[in-house]
Amino acid sequence: MSSELPKSTGAPARQNVTFPSAGGTAHGYLALPPSGRGPGVIVIQEWWGLTDHIADVADRLAREGFVAFAPDLYGGNVAHDSEEALRMMRALPVATGVELLSGAVGHLLSLPEVTSDTVGAVGFCMGGGFVLYLAAADPRVSAAVPFYGVIQGELPDFSRLKAQILGHYGELDESIPPKSLDALRETIERQAGITADLRLYPAGHAFFNDGRPSYDADSATRAWASTVPFLHEQLG
């Protein structure tokens, strides 16, 4: 993962809603489509926190007709540099993050604006890894879209997985060797009987983040162009 900072460094976390999760109160950013109603999608942050970039992704999904909800995994904190981001990511146990995200799934499905019985999950970097952890643990996730998802430790147990998976990864991403995707595909197929569509692009890590030097416009456009119809197809 690059040490370059996102464009929103130093800005406070983007929050506009609270919701019950993990026995307490959590925060997040909710974006509604122009129609006011639509299928639900969880947006999971990079290791920087709930930044303007993640809120912008939620807004983009809302413009495509989804009710998009980005829960704040860091409780309002945003990293100022890569060392702080790494420390904050490591301070968040995977099980704790999945518990909070499952609470966000429940909250999203409880909203009258949400028309789907299940949700999609889209995440980036750390959040891409959490997309897979969440989908493996929560069958209410029916569409999982990890962008260059970083797995922390062992692969999750996919035996309860119900979600179809569309993943986007960079061929030049040193933090996620392309060969590692073979093991991920095989594990998902063996444990869940689901064939994961994991796609490679001629780009590095964080190629979708337009506030980073690693941004690759062509790869980002192609990945987004397949993500939106995939979510619509899976969520109805």
Is 61 in contact with 31 (CB distance < 8 Å)? yes
For this structure, is 182 an active site residue? no
Pairing of strands 164-170, 197-201: parallel
Cβ atoms < 10 Å from Cβ of 195: 11
Which of the following is catalytic: 27, 53, 107, 205? 205
Is 48 in contact with 7 (CB distance < 8 Å)? no
Which of the following is catalytic: 52, 72, 138, 173? 173
Instruction: Return the structure tokens found at 109.
Output: 């499905």
Q: What is the rounded distance in angstroms from the CA atom of residue 117 to the CA atom of residue 139?
A: 11
3-state secondary structure of 13: coil
**Cα→Cα distances 233→134, 204, 225, Å:** 20, 28, 13
Q: What is the rounded distance in angstroms from the CA atom of residue 136 to the CA atom of residue 130?
A: 10
Q: What is the rounded distance in angstroms from the CA atom of residue 126 to the CA atom of residue 147?
A: 9
For this structure, is 205 an active site residue? yes
Which of the following is catalytic: 125, 138, 168, 216? 125
Which residues are identified as catalytic?
Answer: 125, 173, 205
